[in-house]
Structure 1
Amino acid sequence: MLIELEKLAKFPWSPWLAQIRTPFGRTAVRWCGDQTAVPGEYHVEWTVDQDIVWGKNVKPADDSGPGVRPGGHCVVLRGRLDPTENGAAVLDLHGTLILLDVADQLPDHVAHTWVDLFVEREKISLHPYEL
């Protein structure tokens, strides 16, 4: 996914955080790239290191369409959720696929539905890459 890095910040109690902008929202998220990165456009891969639990940290979205926003101590991603054959799930965030581990089986009716995924800020990260 192509994002705009607005700024990087480091606080004593946290990892490097990137303030980012996407075509469908802004948020701050853990940055796993060069700590001297300058503002600008970067291609990134999203990584979520938190199991999802239906009804707890993943819920039906009130709106359709992709979204990225802060949610207190969380990052909220809105996308289409699809279970995989091996018991995991994939969140389609505007054409970017994010693999998710599932703690409990997802309900049958959630395939390809719009959901809001709430991820603790320390458990979601961006990994920049070169094309």
Structure 2
Amino acid sequence: MLIELEVAKFPWSPWLAQIRTSFGGTAVRWCGDQTAEPGEYHVEWTVDEEIAWGRNAKPAVGVGPGVRPGGHCVVLRGRLDLTVDGAAVLDFDGTQILLDLADPLPEGVAGTWVELFIEREKIALYEVSP
């Protein structure tokens, strides 16, 4: 996924990236080059938190991808799907983010638009080649 990046470091946290996309922006953990200049980067997203329906995953208000700050967390909006082997994947504007589930999803949730509420330090961006 192509994002607009400005890297910032706060003394009490890991490297954070202030990012902008065509559908929103927020700050998340940056695992790329710590000397990266502001600009456009192709990135891969990872989520290092178990997804539990009703706790940090809920039906989306609206449709379409989205990313925004949500207090102490980041809100990701995408379409939640299951792979053939039962793994959960968030389709985030064509980018697939693999998710770990705390429990099986409720009936009828797969294929719907959802919002994930994830602590910003548990979302990471890795720079990838286009």
> Per the shorter chain, which TM-score range?
over 0.9
- Deviation of 1:108 after TM superposition, in Å, equals 1.8
- Deviation of 1:83 after TM superposition, in Å, equals 2.0
Aligned twin of 1:42: 41
Q: Distance in 2 between matches of 1:104 and 1:85?
A: 17
Task: Please list, as runs of the form range in 1=range in 2, the aligned pairs for 1:78-117 lying within 5 A after superposition.
Answer: 78-117=77-116
- Deviation of 1:73 after TM superposition, in Å, equals 1.0
CA RMSD between the two structures:
0.9
8 Å contact from structure 1 (residues 83, 106) kept in 2: no
TM-score normalised according to structure 2 size:
0.96
Question: Aligned pair 1:123/2:122, yes or no?
Answer: yes
Q: Distance in 1 between matches of 2:12 and 2:82?
A: 35
Partner amino acid, structure 1, of 2:61: D
- Deviation of 1:84 after TM superposition, in Å, equals 2.6
Q: Distance in 1 between matches of 2:14 and 2:81?
A: 30
8 Å contact from structure 1 (residues 30, 124) kept in 2: yes
5+ long unaligned stretches in structure 1: none
Q: Distance in 1 between matches of 2:75 and 2:111?
A: 18
Aligned twin of 2:2: 2
Q: Distance in 2 between matches of 1:84 and 1:108?
A: 15
Q: Distance in 2 between matches of 1:130 and 1:98?
A: 17
TM-score normalised according to structure 1 size:
0.96
Alignment coverage as a number of residue pairs: 130
- Deviation of 1:97 after TM superposition, in Å, equals 0.5
Q: For 1:6-41, what per-residue CA distance to the aligned partner results, in whole angstroms no more than 9, with x for missing partners?
A: x21111110000100001001001000001100111
Taking every aligned residue pair, what percent have the same amino acid on both sides? 75
Aligned twin of 2:16: 17
Partner amino acid, structure 2, of 1:117: L
- Deviation of 1:95 after TM superposition, in Å, equals 0.4
Q: Distance in 2 between matches of 1:4 and 1:121?
A: 17
Q: Distance in 1 between matches of 2:52 and 2:83?
A: 15
Q: Distance in 1 between matches of 2:80 and 2:22?
A: 20
